[in-house]
Structure 1
Amino acid sequence: MTSSLIKKYNVPGPRYTSYPTVPYWEHEHFTTQQWIDSLQKSFEATNQSQGISLYIHLPFCESLCTFCGCHKRITKRHEVENPYIKYVLKEWQMYCDLLPEKPIIKEIHLGGGTPTFFSPENLEILLTGIFSTAKIHPEHEFSFEGHPNNTTRKHLVTLYNLGFRRVSFGVQDYAPNVQQAINRMQPFHNVAKVSLWAKEVGYTSISHDLVFGLPFQKLENIIDTIEKTKSINPDRLSFYSYAHVPWIKGNGQRGFKDEDVPKDTAKRELYEVGKKLLLEKGYEEVGMDHFALKTDSMYQSAIAKKLHRNFMGYTHSKTQVMIGLGTSSISDSWYAFAQNEKEIEQYYAALDKNELPILKGHYLTEEDLIVRQHILNIMCHFETNWEEPAMQLPELNQIKMHLRELIADNLIIIENQKLRVTEIGKPFIRNICMAFDLRLLKNKPETQVFSLTI
């Protein structure tokens, strides 16, 4: 990748876990009743055929990792677990009361925060409470994020017995000075131990999260981290770009100086070397920033063009309905998004009043739905098309105008109303999606809202 392309395309841009992206939600005109109507409409159409997904946000962490952009509450007081579970179960019951029949749960993801902050016993209380009012899809996929320092074998066994078969461990980087800068001290031994336990217990998909562009990170750190990772041989990997957004996250990302963070060509070299090494070691590129062994369901789904992307990240199958439980969780009915209150106190207060704890949302227009599908196609399959009238937009000529430069730089190829991302173009996937982002094109933010794309 040439430095001129990096310089040209390294601009602020969304990661497209949704379209429209959250800063462009028209929440001023959004009502909770709109959300409920859209949820019921989507649920009735798809519950029996697809089932639904649940994302459960567990926000507590014992310490602050300064690279993290998640909504969390730092505490060492584990008595917070029981009240939080009580409120999440109340929220779930409120949703069940709104639905015309028992939901069939296809996917669950426990995210955070630190889900393994919660004891195995309390996680079992939470999940059995949810299962008591639902059916489980025969092809369900349940996953959770585990912290290598506090995930116990009992966590793994308990969740395995509840149907979980996938676990993701946050690694980031193994260099001690990098770990110290991001306040995430965890030796290789801890990661190897919990990964081995997971394999012994019977988990069929183990994932490690790696991050490039962290403060003080060098090429030798990336190489060492990937070599150590391969010795454990997880089934899939994420290899994320560190999003340096201190203007959003405040002091949490000010534990180091801006000049300590690799930038532009230096940062991209970390990714290029890392990607080359991962491919050499048998991992295949899947979507944006993700890699998987050929034996993993995510790779097989990508080959079959069934890969899907939502607020939980990439999943190997699509459910049209995703209900988010807990603080800051985002729900998706396909026709609308709704985000919960971010602060625990406000979340509890809404539920105490028997109200869904919704902070804001967005009801998608017909234009939104078409753009959303194009962006999903590009993010999941590196291609899209507008052959069918249902995929065409009045602004298509405007979009094509923005695509011309991408064609000239050999990042995409367009033939017969079909767009395909080239190998050179894959690192610029966010930039390619931005050409379809009509809300961004019409109203570019005056201040920096998004992280840099490269």
Structure 2
Amino acid sequence: EVARLAPLLNPERKVVQLHFGGGSPTFLRPDEIRRLGEIIHKHFKFAPDIEASVEVDPRRLTREHMVALREVGFNRASMGVQDFNPKVQESIHRIQPREMTQQAMDWMRELGYGSINLDLIYGLPNQTPETFNETLNTVLEMKPDRLAVFSYAHVPWIKPAQKILEDKVLPTPESKLEVLKLVIERLTANDQYVYIGMDHFAKPTDELAIAQKNKQLQRNFQGYSTRAGSDIYAFGMSSISQIPDAYWQNEKELPKYQEAVDGGRVPLHRAYFVTEEDNLRRETIMRVMCDLSLDFGAMSRKLGINFEQHFASELATLAPFEADGLVKRTAAGLEVTDAGRLFIRNIAMSFDNTLSPSNERRHSKTI
């Protein structure tokens, strides 16, 4: 698939970000990782300051995996932890003691990985604010460079593996909100981490924190980024690519993906061509999620519209958020308050004209 697409792109364009994820890349053997690296380097040129990140699973990780990944150019790593509490780990069938995660981090630091991210999840069975506070104590002792703290999204109709939790009692939205408030308070205390947009935390000297402060933060399928205007070309089953005017997704089932690639065809599952209206809304939602504010004048100039007129009905739907102190009007436009950051998705959804009540079951709840 890489060999077929690469000749269609400008050979002088350099890769500024590389992400190897979508599950467990370290399922591959070290020699397979090196082979994949050879393929990527053969067909693409890399920028000298490339950000190359990989998701690893500590439960199936060896030092040789991390050596192979470093050899082919990866300089950042991310690991899923979810929760360090043994009862929670047992309930979600993911046994991963602290020592296992610490060993992986030690290998990464020894081998020169410049940034280490840990993923946590709240809203899991047997989680309480008290138990999650203990997990936060452990995480703060480990000192990752970045943290992503996600709300558990129970979508078994999309992820059948989640059916094992169907008979488990999940925390209420109120309990999850209490945990999220705890997370923000603990991680941002004494300027240990900066709260980035939604879900993410980074050290104050991290480029994400600096970009957010300077209103230069971006967001794409991989999360928050400092690289604006980069096209995303994705490879592998179910992967999603993005260029300014279109999105497309590869086949979501392995037999169909393999059949297409082996037959010399693009393994296309579906595509969407972006309209002018989509672009206006994408930029608006981006700024809400990245800047936590909207400057109506700046948006009007950037988008070539009268922002307040164009989005009059959407701005009107924010009235309940204003009444609850989650959004406030300013001389320039509007700002999301500290309390409003807990509901940033809901606020941003006000500008999404594709959402309707009928979509409720198709997507996870925001809290």
Is residue 2:145 matched to residue 1:232? Answer: no
Matched with 1:419 is: 334
Using the alignment, how far apart are the partners of 1:364 and 1:174 within structure 2?
42
Q: Which residue is equivalent to 2:348?
A: 433
Of the candidates 312, 315, 320, which is equivalent to residue 397 of structure 1?
Answer: 312
- Distance in structure 1 (CA, Å) of the matches to 2:284 and 2:84: 37
Per-residue CA deviations over 1:197-229 (Å, capped at 9, x if unaligned) read 111111111010011111111122211111111
Deviations 1:60-111 (A, max 9, x none): xxxxxxxxxxxxxxxxxxxxxxxxxxxxxxx112211222434411111111
State how far apart, in whole Å, the 1-side matches of 2:349 and 2:147 are. Answer: 25
| 1:273 paired to 2:186 | no
- Could you tell me which amino acid in structure 1 is paired with residue 337 of structure 2? T
Pair 1:197-2:96 in alignment: no
Structure 2 alignment gaps of length 5 or more: none
The equivalent of 2:125 in structure 1 is 215
Residue 258 of structure 1: how far off its partner (Å): 5.6
Structural mapping, 1:113-192, within 5 Å: 113-192=23-102
- Cα offset for 1:259? 5.7
CA distance in 1, matches of 2:56, 2:168: 31
Is 1:406 paired with 2:321? yes
What does residue range 18-417 of structure 1 map to in structure 2 within 5 Å? 91-250=1-160, 252-257=161-166, 260-280=169-189, 282-387=192-297, 388-389=300-301, 390=303, 392=305, 395-417=310-332
Which whole-Å CA distance do the structure 2 matches of 1:447 and 1:102 have between them?
44
Alpha-carbon contact 1:157-1:201 (below 8 Å) kept: yes
Superimposed CA distance per residue, residues 39-78 of structure 1 (whole angstroms, 9 cap, x where no aligned partner): xxxxxxxxxxxxxxxxxxxxxxxxxxxxxxxxxxxxxxxx
Cα RMSD after superposing both structures: 1.7
8 Å CA contact retained: 1:414, 1:420: yes
1:186-206 per-position Cα deviation (integer Å, ceiling 9, x unaligned): 110000111111111111110
Aligned length: 361
1:395, CA displacement in angstroms? 4.1
Please give the per-residue CA displacement for 1:155-205, whole angstroms capped at 9, x wherever unaligned.
222222322211001100011111111111111000011111111111111
**Does the 8 Å contact 1:301/1:317 carry over to 2?**
no
Q: 1:358 to 1:222 in 2, by over 3 A?
A: same
Amino acid at match of 1:124: R
Aligned with 1:322: secondary structure? Answer: coil
How far apart, CA to CA, are the structure 1 residues paired with 2:31 and 2:15? 21
Q: Which amino acid is 2:266 matched to?
A: L
Q: Which position in structure 1 is the counterpart of 2:366?
A: 453
- Could you give the per-residue CA deviations for residues 23-46 of structure 1, whole angstroms, max 9, x where no partner exists? xxxxxxxxxxxxxxxxxxxxxxxx
Is the partner of 1:355 in helix, strand or coil? coil
1:173 to 1:118, Cα distance in 2 relative to 1, 3 A: same
Q: Distance in 2 between matches of 1:382 and 1:295?
A: 20
Check conservation: 2:85, 2:131, Cα contact below 8 A. yes
Whole-angstrom distance in 1 between the partners of 2:267 and 2:113: 34
Tell me, yes or no, if the aligned pair for 2:11 and 2:44 is still in contact at 8 Å.
Answer: no
Shift of residue 405, structure 1, vs aligned partner: 1.6
SS across alignment from 1:255: helix
Inter-partner Cα distance in structure 2 for 1:337 and 1:136: 23
1:417, CA displacement in angstroms? Answer: 4.9
Partner SS, residue 407 of structure 1:
helix
Identify which range, 298-307 or 425-434, moves more after superposition: 298-307
The CA distance in 2 between the partners of 1:423 and 1:93, in whole Å, is 47
**Structure 1 CA distance, aligned partners of 2:204 and 2:318?**
32
Q: CA deviation at 1:391?
A: 5.6
Note if contact 2:34-2:68 (Cα within 8 Å) is conserved in structure 1: yes
TM (norm. structure 1) is 0.76
Alpha-carbon displacement from aligned partner over 1:277-298 (angstroms, at most 9, x marks no partner) = 1112611101101001113222
CA contact (8 A) 2:23 2:55 kept: no
Q: Secondary structure at the match of 2:109?
A: helix
Give the whole-Å Cα distance in 2 for the aligned partners of 1:226 and 1:126: 36
